[in-house]
Amino acid sequence: VPLPVASVVRDSLLDALAHGGGEQDFAVLGEVALRRAGR
């Protein structure tokens, strides 16, 4: 069963890891969203 939301979360977590957010909690997803929005 495809889980598109899980794929988006996984991609966002990988983005956070790539930008040094490996030691942060899930609030890092907000930072990823801001970065993707160009802020």
pLDDT digit string, tens, across residues 1-39 = 788 999 999 999 999 999 999 999 999 999 999 999 998
Q: Does this model's pTM top 0.75?
A: yes
Residue ranges making up the domain that contains 30: 4-36
Residue 9 contacts by C-beta under 8 Å, 6 or more apart in sequence?
29
**Residue 36, token pair as written in the block:** 């993707």
Q: How far is CA 38 from the centre of its chain?
A: 14
Total count of domains within the chain: 1
3-state helix, strand, coil in the chain (%, to 5): 60, 0, 40
**Residue 12: per-residue pLDDT:** 96
**Residue 28, token pair as written in the block:** 């890092």
**Residue 9: per-residue pLDDT:** 94
